[in-house]
Amino acid sequence: ADLLEEERAGSDQYVQAVRRGAEQLLELVNQLLARARSESVGRDAPARVFNPATLLEELSEVIAPLAAEKGLSFVAQASSDLPHLVRADRMRLRQVLMNLLSNAVKYTANGGITLSSAHDNGQLSFRVKDTGVGIAAEDQQRIFRAFERLAGTEGKVGAGLGLSIAMQQVHRLNGNLRLDSTPGEGSCFELSVPIPAVEYSEANTSASILVVEDDPDIRDLVALQLGRVGYQTRSVSDGADAVAAVQTDPPDLIVMDLRMSGLSGIEAARTIRDSGFPGPIVALSASRDPAEIERALAAGYSDYLFKPLDKLELAAAVERALAR
């Protein structure tokens, strides 16, 4: 979808819809895998780089039609101080906000819902405000407990688990969730999470990057994504060709798959390092096995990126590696 969108100069709304849907499905699969890993090894998946304004747009695409069906207004507002890039658990953050927004639509009969965001002193905050039924002061703590339902909501679909799960996710994000509500006037949920901005400067277009990947689709995609940022790239399909390319015309940076037929990425990295190549080498791999990550770093890799590839994470990793 990324390649199609580039070919059509980003003008095809249907290609954009396919790409957004694919990204959301990939995030969901990654979150399920991350949960399985965290349960087995006792830790969360690493945070990802993303654009918070894009997250607001995605939420709006889902919530705005649901609000319109009930005759409600929906407004999403991103403050001017919102950073272009942040690093956090995007999927978990999205789940919390989707839960709050869905509840706002469910329990609002007239008026509308507002989603706003801001960033201050390393804190990324979101406010979900509605003109719904409101919640009495004595009920504002217990609604975050599992299976709790408020009086007058018996006819609403749900098991009373949404807010308790959301609060668990907020704790995993090391954040806070506050509620301010008045019966008959509406509710305002404010989520605050410690999320620093990612420093990102313009690409050094004089830097050359060698892309080493045996899958032609991924190889083209990596070259496309780096080219969009402004880097000059050339590509080879296996480790042996990578060694030869470095000896013939050394690049400033190498982005290389770990598992390739013939000479593997780890073997190629060792050979390239033994030849005296001083530049950074960034690994690409679908494996999140800690032992394989350690082997890659020991072989001479400077950084390690996971597939499916995140274009912002790729750009940030390359920028970070070249700045060293």
* CA–CA dist 166, 160 (Å, integer): 11
The per-residue pLDDT for 154 is 46
Residue 103 Cα to chain centre, angstroms: 23
Q: Which of 20, 98, 27, 96 is nearest to 66 (CA)?
A: 98
* CA–CA dist 221, 309 (Å, integer): 9
> Does the predicted TM-score (pTM) go above 0.95?
no
Which pair of structure tokens corresponds to residue 49? 């780089």
> Is the bond preceding residue 308 a cis peptide, omega within 30 degrees?
yes
Give me the amino acid identity at 267: E
HEC string for 268-285? HHHHHHHCCCCCCEEEEE
Distances (CA, A) of 270 to 33, 130, 295: 30, 58, 11
CA dihedral sign of residues 317, 98, 180, 165: negative
* CA–CA dist 175, 95 (Å, integer): 14
Average pLDDT, 10 consecutive residues per value, the chain (324 residues): 73 76 73 60 59 88 91 92 84 88 91 94 93 84 63 47 79 90 92 84 72 92 86 93 95 94 92 94 86 90 83 81 79
